[in-house]
Amino acid sequence: MRGGLAQSPQNYCHTTNTRFLPSGTGYIGSFTALAILEADYKVVIVDNLYNSSEEVLNRIELICGKRPEYYSLDITDEKALDKVFEEHPDIDNVIHFAALKVSSNMSREGRQYGI
Ligand SMILES: NC(=O)c1ccc[n+]([C@@H]2O[C@H](COP(=O)([O-])OP(=O)(O)OC[C@H]3O[C@@H](n4cnc5c(N)ncnc54)[C@H](O)[C@@H]3O)[C@@H](O)[C@H]2O)c1
């Protein structure tokens, strides 16, 4: 499975407060989302699932009993992002992990990497 939390999780967690916006169900984003949920903040994730899976949301919920809010969208879609912030005026921090990171893909899909 692509994305973070692909391996079997352990367990714990509690309640919620403010919202954060980690941009990703990816490897680092998903572990960050989990840590933030465990610290009793709410989490809103946006990801286009280019390199991850919605299954990550199930894994996060399995680990801590809380499911982050999730929007399937591309972060270059400004209008869609504005809508997320309008729906969540309590977002007070943004942690941005959305990226194309695999260098072996660069020659094949160079335009997406801006080269
Ligand atoms: N994994 C590491 O060990 C590591 C170490 C240092 C730095 N980083 C950096 O941290 C960042 C995240 O790394 P990762 O390992 O979590 O990568 P990842 O590929 O697992 O996660 C990136 C996420 O961004 C999403 N994404 C990509 N383009 C998007 C777009 N336009 N709109 C919405 N979502 C989009 C992908 O679907 C994926 O879920 C990268 O910049 C990477 O270079 C990673």
Residue 30's domain comprises: 19-113
How many domains does the structure of the chain reveal?
A: 1
**Cβ–Cβ under 8 Å, residues 36 and 68:** no
Residue nearest to atom 21 of ligand 1 (CA): 26
Does 39 map to a domain?
Answer: yes
Give the 3-state secondary structure of residue 46: strand
What CATH number is attached to the domain comprising 100?
Answer: 3.40.50.720
| DSSP string of 5-33, one letter each residue | --SPP--------SEEEE--SSHHHHHHH
For residue 25, the tally of other CB atoms under 10 A from its CB is: 31
State pTM to two decimals: 0.82
> Distance between CA atoms of 46 and 66, rounded to whole angstroms?
16
- Integer-rounded Cα Rg, in Å, for the chain is 14
pLDDT digits (tens, 9 = 90+) for 51-96: 999 999 999 999 999 999 999 999 999 999 999 999 998 888 888 8
Does 7 map to a domain?
Answer: no
Residue 25 Cβ < 6 Å to ligand 1: yes
Residue 97 Cβ < 6 Å to ligand 1: yes
Stretch 20-30: mean pLDDT? 74
Residue 53 Cβ < 6 Å to ligand 1: no
Q: Which two tokens stand for residue 58?
A: 């199930």
Q: How many helices (H) and strands (E) does the chain have?
A: 3, 4
Top mutation candidate among 21, 27, 109 for ligand 1, by most atoms within 8 Å of CB: 27
